[in-house]
Amino acid sequence: MGGFPILSVMLAVPLLAAIACLFLSAPQARMTALVATLVNLALGVVLWANYDIGGAQWQFVERADLFAGFSYALGIDGIALLLIVLSVFLMPICILASWEAIDKRVGEYMAAFLLMETLMIGVFSAQDLFLFYIMFEAGLIPMYLIIGIWGGADRIYASYKFFLYTLLGSVLMLVAMLWMANGAGTTDIPTLMQYDFDPHVQTWLWLAFFASFAVKMPMWPVHTWLPDAHVQAPTAGSVILAGVLLKMGGYGFLRFSLPMFPEASAQFAWLVFWLSMVAVVVTSLIALVQSDMKKLIAYSSVAHMAIVTVGLFAFNVQGIEGAMMVMLGHGLVSGALFLCVGVIYDRLHTREIDRYGGLSINMPRYATFFLLFTMASIGLPGTSNFVGEFLALAGIYQVSTWVTLVCTTGIILGAGYMLYLYWRVAFGVQKNEDAAAMPDLNVREWAMLAPIAAAVLWMGVYPESFLAPMRKDVAALEARIARAMPEGDAKLKDGEPKAAAANAVAPLPHDKGSEGGH
């Protein structure tokens, strides 16, 4: 790439477009936002194409020292690359999803979205502790605005809940960061990833970061902000929330908790396992009884994210790569499911499942997309989520068969609540006249869903495109945390192999000597 500061450009494009949007009319703002996000998507593709798989760990590095060790430092590894690609892929789709649904203060809305894109890319590319902190926390501000201004009836409650949860976590994380910068004498993330903190100190630092990341994930029991935030957010807000913002928690575990505090991570692995096991079972069951589509999908997100956390803390390659694949797959699939809800919400303005029914009669193309994403959500092989869930669970099996058993029940419960949802929305009779009169997907909606569908199948059939860039980084992470790796409960013990097959029988007396002849 020579010296072209592609990451800075990717930060600048949406930022400049955001400023421009504030001064433009509604149609102009829409077009500006679409063009800017498409430009960033193109840049993301360039970034991916030029990423040297197997090359240096940190690529596209940019650095400008500012003051007192605080620096504007950017750079990505394979893990960050994939999350950036996911972000820039979803953004134009979000703009399209808001095309008609948002009709008040369009300029400000687009500006908020574009600002959020800058901050998301910033989170995944920051190499300085405080730069990361700014991006990580500031990323929530546009989200507040989106929920608070363009959200549903109960938006104030949702945003204050969001606020209270995040406040506590971010304060603790900041204190920990201060301690680290002071103790290690650097704010450079790659250096810190190799720095060995005293294991006793690690415990406290780990807990402080955990407070922040667990809320973002979100893990049970600090998940209750998510259903409310999703329900109140406009469609595109939900897509970005589920698609990218939730991934910041997982990214935080990968970037900070595991490599910086391996001993503490091992120490607390069982805390993570317990919370995740509870999450899989409890939130799946809760999803089963929801009557609001968005709430159902929000609760299912919590269950899926629990698979991510057990995978991450399995301390092995399959677990971590699986967790990453679930994050990417879930980013696409839950985003797509929220879009599917948005499509019919735009027509009928209700999220009540009972108000729909029989949509595969009047909206067959919609029903097909919805079916694909439903199947992907329940981890059907051949779709993105299967690869991730399979690897993550295969990883955790090497640590604990109990955790695997409990988490794998998610595939049963997931099938239950998703198929029950699909039945009530797309199958059955057309019991509501207004729902039966809804037209099928228009071109804009088709253009939103088709690319995600293609990506979901691509990830399921040929995940190598996604596994290859992160392979070396995950291997490096595994090597880094290997010293703290917990012992598995399988403990295979060799024994004397049995001489004969289980159903071996003696030959018939008269058969002796004439084996095979009869």
Partner 1 sequence: MSSTQILLIVFLPLLAAIIAGLGNRALGNTAAKSITTGALFASCLMSWPIFLGFLNGSLQETVVPVLKWVESGSLTFDWALRVDTLTAVMLVVITSVSALVHLYSWGYMDEDPDQPRFFAYLSLFTFAMLMLVTADNLVQMFFGWEGVGLASYLLIGFWFRKPSANKAAIKAFVVNRVGDLGFMLGIFGTYLVFQTTSIPDILKMAPGMSGSTIGFLGYRVATMDVLCILLFIGAMGKSAQLGLHTWLPDAMEGPTPVSALIHAATMVTAGVFMVCRLSPMFETAPVALSMVVFVGAATCFFAATIGTTQWDIKRVIAYSTCSQLGYMFFAAGVGAYGAAMFHLFTHAFFKALLFLGAGSVIHAMHHEQDMRYYGGLRKHIPLTFWAMLLGTLAITGLGVYHLKLGFAGFWSKDAIIEVAFARGTDLATFAFWMGVIAALLTSFYSWRLMFLTFWGKPRWIESEHIQHSVHKTPEQAGEDTTGGYHPHESPLPMLIPLGVLSVGAVLAGQVFAPQFLDSAAFWAGSIFYNENLIHRMHAVPYLVKYAAFIVMVLGFLGAWYAYIRNPSIPAKFVEQFRLVHQFVYNKWYFDELYNVLFVKPAFWLGRIFWVKGDKGLIDRFGPDGAAALVVQGAALAKKVQSGYLYSYALIMLLGLVAAITWVLV
Nearer to partner 1, 99 or 420 (CB): 420
5 near partner 1 (CB under 8 A): no
Q: How far apart are the first and last CA of the chain?
A: 75
Report how far residue 101's alpha carbon sits from residue 81's, in angstroms, rounded to the nearest whole number: 31
Closest to partner 1 by CB, 13 or 208: 208
Phi, psi at residue 503, to the nearest 5°? -100, 20
Question: Is residue 390 involved in binding partner 1 (CB under 8 A)?
Answer: yes
Q: Which of residues 439-468 bind partner 1 (CB under 8 A)?
A: 461-464, 467
Query: Least distance from C-beta 215 to partner 1, angstroms?
Result: 11
Residue pair 248/255 in contact by the 8 Å Cβ criterion: no
Does residue number 318 form part of the binding site for partner 1 (CB under 8 A)? yes
Instruction: Report d(CA 249, CA 173) in Å as an integer.
Output: 12
Q: How far is the CB of 262 from partner 1 (least distance, A)?
A: 18
Instruction: Judge contact between 90 and 331, C-beta under 8 A.
Output: yes
Closest among 251, 239, 313 to 276, alpha carbons compared = 313
Cα separations in angstroms, 281 against 33, 158, 174, 203, 358: 40, 25, 32, 28, 30
Among 74-82, 108-116, 426-434, 448-456, which window interacts with partner 1 (CB under 8 A)?
426-434
Q: Tell me which residues in 143-182 interact with partner 1 (CB under 8 A).
A: 144-145, 148, 159-161, 163-167, 170-171, 174, 177-178, 181-182
Q: Which is nearer to partner 1, 18 or 47 (CB)?
A: 18
Provide the β-strand partners of residue 292. Answer: 352
- Residue type at position 40: N
- Comparison of 49 and 492: residue with beta carbon closer to partner 1: 492
Which listed residue (11, 146, 222, 245) binds partner 1 by CB under 8 A?
222
| CB of residue 61 to partner 1, shortest distance in Å | 22
Contact (Cβ atoms closer than 8 angstroms) between residue 345 and residue 100: no
Q: Which is nearer to partner 1, 4 or 423 (CB)?
A: 423
Q: What phi, psi does 74 have (nearest 5°)?
A: -120, 160
Q: How far is the CB of 139 from partner 1 (least distance, A)?
A: 11
Residue 404 CB, shortest distance to partner 1, in Å, is: 6
- Which residues 100-139 are close enough to bind partner 1 by CB under 8 A? 130, 133-134, 137-138
By C-beta, is 5 or 488 nearer to partner 1? 488
Amino acid identity, residue 260? M
Distance, in Å, from the CA atom of 74 to the CA atom of 122, rounded to the nearest integer, reads 8
**How many C-beta atoms surround the C-beta of residue 443 within 10 A?**
7
- Contact characters 472-511, partner 1, x per CB under 8 A: ---x--x---------xxxxxxxxxxx--xxxxxxxx--x
Q: Which of residues 66-95 bind partner 1 (CB under 8 A)?
A: 67-70
- Amino acid at position 160, single letter: Y
Q: Pick between residue 270 and residue 390 the one whose CB is nearest to partner 1.
A: 390
State residue 64 phi and psi, 5-degree precision.
Answer: -140, 110
